[in-house]
Chains A and B, each alone.
Chain A
Amino acid sequence: DIQMTQSPSTLSASVGDRVTITCRASQSISSWLAWYQQKPGKAPNLLIYKASSLESGVPSRFSGSGSGTEFTLTISSLQPDDFATYYCQQYNTYPRTFGQGTKVEIK
């Protein structure tokens, strides 16, 4: 299985901050990476697919980059609605695997 490792596990930030979350794959996954946002009690919501493609309807302050084994999710200016947990997920090979999650908290 491909292991996905996110860092940090928890991130404390303020509204307006630029936030970056890193995701590393244990082997190359090309650009087959998605990012999801999950709020408590809710299903995950797709933000980014193919490492850097913004899903329709997702605010442009979210962006993704990377390829191979190193990827980042950036929120350019953190908004109150962005406090949530973020997961990366590889879909290069089976089984699909997720990172352990990064919780973005209010500082």
Chain B
Amino acid sequence: QVQLQESGPGLVRPSETLSLTCTVSGDSINAYYWSWIRQPPGKGLEWVGDIYYSGSTNYNPSLKSRVTISVDTSKNQFSLKVSSVTAADTAVYYCARENSRNLFDYYYMDVWGKGTTVTVSS
């Protein structure tokens, strides 16, 4: 069965760039969309952006100027970069697969990684 695993530094300095990778196992990264979602401590879920295996992306406008999502199909991985981070970017970051049951259905997040905590602090 498909599994997703987030990896990256747990501590990032203010104004620097947060970089995370999601490794997909048990399925090919091809033919799906792949999302990043974050959750600040004690708060709700915020969708950050997604990428199709072909490389096309969609970003949350609230973060768009600072976010880059990329995909490496040869490694079955996709990645997130958030630049110029502040304490407000402190959160648990999740990666997720987007799936649809039928050809003309829209995509929803059906499989999630366990999440990785990123703290922005000097």
Taking Cβ atoms with an 8 Å cutoff, the residues of A that contact B are 1, 32, 34, 36, 42-46, 49-50, 53, 55, 87, 89, 91-92, 94-101
Of the 9-residue stretches B20-28, B44-52, B80-88, which lies at the interface with chain A?
B44-52
Contact B45 A91 (CB under 8 A): no
Residues of chain A with a CB closer than 8 A to B45's CB: 36, 44, 87, 89, 98, 101
Of residues 73 through 122 on chain B, the ones whose CB sits less than 8 Å from some CB of chain A are 94, 98, 101, 105-115
> B30 at the A/B interface (Cβ < 8 Å)?
no
Closest to A43 in B: B112
Contact A96 B47 (CB under 8 A): yes
Q: Which of A1, A32, A55, A97 is within 8 Å of B110, CB to CB?
A: A55
Given contacts A36-B109, A45-B112, 6 further A-B contacts (CB under 8 A): A34-B109, A44-B45, A46-B109, A49-B108, A55-B110, A95-B58
On whether A34 and B58 interact (CB within 8 A), knowing A44-B45, A98-B44, A98-B47, the answer reads no
Looking at the assembled complex, report how far the CB atom of A70 sits from the nearest CB atom of chain B, in whole angstroms: 19
Taking Cβ atoms with an 8 Å cutoff, the residues of B that contact A are 35, 44-47, 50, 58-62, 94, 98, 101, 105-115
Closest to A4 in B: B44
Residues of chain A with a CB closer than 8 A to B106's CB: 32, 91-92
Contact A87 B44 (CB under 8 A): yes
Residues of chain A with a CB closer than 8 A to B58's CB: 94-95
Count chain A CB atoms within 10 A of each CB in B45, B94, B111 and give the residue with the most: B45
Q: How far is the CA of A99 from the CA of B44 in the complex (A)?
A: 8
Contact B112 A49 (CB under 8 A): no
Contact B113 A43 (CB under 8 A): yes
Q: How far is the CA of A99 from the CA of B105 in the complex (A)?
A: 21
Looking at the assembled complex, report how far the CB atom of A99 sits from the nearest CB atom of chain B, in whole angstroms: 8
